[in-house]
Structure 1
């Protein structure tokens, strides 16, 4: 008999726009989820939030996550300028 014990963790980030008092704009943002099994990533998914609705999860591989990081760095550099 072989006994297997898995240490499963779910790491999640919810990033939302700031709410503006008196604005009729719905809350919006993204959710990034990562599943870790025994310390190793099993995948990352992203969902969009629009009001109370969430989109279907989109799985991103390591290359896509690197591209996302590069795109965010470029966008943030322009925002700071």
Structure 2
């Protein structure tokens, strides 16, 4: 079974060729960089260690860009729930 395709996957696959054939503003380039690198370790990591067993868990930091669908999923859901 294959995993679902994400917006991040689409950017990784198609953005380099898109950028080479289109005029991209610095803000668009920055947003694309954030989307492609969100939660990959490019923005740092946090390590949690269980006090009981010592098991370590690595959590990748998000980009926190307002254009990033991974970063805006929770605020979007919160906004929708507030209007129900």
Which TM-score bucket, shorter chain as reference?
under 0.3
TM-score by length of 2: 0.26
Q: Which has the higher helix share?
A: 2
Q: Which has the higher strand share?
A: 1
Greater RCO, CA 8 A, separation 6+:
2
TM-score by length of 1: 0.27
